Structure 1
Amino acid sequence: MIDYLEVENKFVEINGIKLNSCFDSGNAIIVSVTFDASALVNNARFILDHTVQIEIPKKYPLDLPSTFEFPEKTITNFPHLNHDTNRTFCLGIELDIRKKMEPDYSFETYVSLIADFLGMYQYYSRYQIFPYGERSHGDTGIREYYKELFSVDTDRQIMNLMKTNKLNNSMRNKKCPCNSGLKLKNCHWSQLNIILSNSLQHVQLQKDYKILQRRL
């Protein structure tokens, strides 16, 4: 469990932002910051001056933060806003966010992900295209991410791989769940082992599996 004094001290030290407030809401630590930085995106320079609210769950990093503009919303016509009340930022697929934040899940790294999002928004606003290509939003984006991660083509393949809950040496010579016909050790062993041996990634995999299970 984290407390607001710990969070406040960490955010004060982060360059490129000004801490406006930090308080404990009961279930989360609520942090307000204003960006005072620039971002270089595909050789185009943008000024980042947005004020955002970051809600950090008490169970962080088991649960990831959410971020949205507050009090003023200037980001409105942008595909990568979530369809919730606060119009929170979609910073990416959560497993990918976790991979980027490892090993220490520092708040500085999380702020850098927000800065990347704001830079991408500024680029999209100016040129009406995404600087690095675009992955679909929501459940479709989760499916695309795992297909790319596992280098497979079908929903059945990713679901078979995602429902794998444990690995042990006795499974190395069994057929891979992706139905490639190869032994697991010669197919998806390494990718699954990385995720399943990391408790936070493993939990995220299970969450994503349940999401897709309800949709497919």
Structure 2
Amino acid sequence: MQKINLNKDLNEVLEMFPKLKLSEKDKKKSVCGEIAIFDAADNYVDSFDIKVTIPRNYPHGFPLLFETGNKFEHIPDRHISEDGSCCVSSLQESDLVSQKGITIKDFFLRYVIPYLANQLYFDSQEEWANGDYEHGSDGILQYYRELFKMDDIEQVISLLYFFNTKKMNRNDNCFCGSGSKLKRCHLDVYCNIKDFSKTRIEMDLLYLKQLSKKRARKQQNQEL
């Protein structure tokens, strides 16, 4: 059933984007070729050469997008990862999506097209359409700061430790310390983070602790 679904999903993508083709090497499938980007009025804007790799456990796992035509500089500031893949979402979002599963068609519509369109927007406006996102450890901190609505990195780390070791019920007092029940306070935040993989939280904790130490050393050096 999984193989049948994948073939069906791939055919939908190839019909939607006729200049793409299926490639298979070492039993790893990918979609490669040229993809056109259109504006809101359906006018052609530009094209990119890309490759999208298919996870082995499809539809689970998160596909990877690679821009293969070097249409823009492959650097972190253009949202390119160390392995050359495109940063189409936060690490935390990709973790959640990979567990829930995503079809290759939805991946193209939700991530590939918006990412490439945003690159074109940056080329013309010298800014990102929806604002910029920090890279690496700073990006991880930014994600949790916005999720928890707190600025202090040590508070963020403490909360992640808490979520990594404890489960909460709807009628428990909220983790924020308000005294309200979780169901009447930050239930949406908890429902979001409780679905993260243990590996994702542990990796984020590692990066945040390293970032905290780095900032502490910098602060000490400035005070000397």
Could you state the TM-score of these two structures normalised by the residue count of structure 2?
A: 0.73
AA at the equivalent of 2:136: G
Tell me the CA shift for residue 187 of structure 1.
Answer: 4.6
User: Residues 24, 133 of structure 1: CA spacing in aligned structure 2 closer, same or farther, 3 A cutoff?
Assistant: same
Give deviations 1:188-209, integer Å, cap 9, x for gaps.
444123431x3xx334444433
1:98-138 alpha-carbon deviations (Å, 9 max, x no partner) = 56789651211211211101100001111212112111122
Q: CA deviation at 1:184?
A: 6.3
Corresponding residue for residue 106 of structure 1: 103
Structure 1 window deviating more from structure 2 (119-128 vs 44-53): it is 44-53
Higher helix share: 2
Look up the match of 1:208.
204
Shift in Å at residue 38 of structure 1?
1.0
Query: Is the contact between residue 39 and residue 48 of structure 1 (CA under 8 Å) also seen in structure 2?
Result: no
The offset of 1:91, in angstroms, is 0.8
On the 8 A contact 2:62/2:102 being kept in 1, the answer is no
Whether the aligned pair in 1 keeps the contact of 2:22 and 2:29 (CA below 8 Å) is: no
Equivalent residue for 1:38? Answer: 38
Q: CA deviation at 1:65?
A: 2.2
The answer on whether the counterparts of 1:167 and 1:193 sit within 8 Å (CA) in structure 2 is no
TM-score under structure 1 normalisation?
Answer: 0.75
Structure 2 residues not aligned, in runs of 5+:
213-224
Q: Residue in 2 aligned with 1:152? A: 150
SS at match of 1:23: strand
Contact 1:12 1:19 in 2 (8 A): no
CA distance in 1, matches of 2:143, 2:74: 24
Aligned positions, number: 204
| Residues 38, 45 of structure 2: 8 Å contact kept | yes
Tell me the C-alpha RMSD between the 2 structures: 3.4
Q: For residue 8 of structure 2, what is the amino acid of its counterpart?
A: N
Q: Secondary structure of the residue that 1:152 maps to in structure 2?
A: coil
Q: Which residue of 2 aligns with 1:167?
A: 167
Distance, in Å, in 1 between the alignment partners of 2:62 and 2:49 is 20
Q: Percent identity?
A: 18
Q: C-alpha separation between the residues in 2 aligned to 1:67 and 1:60? A: 15
| Aligned partner letter, 1:49 | S
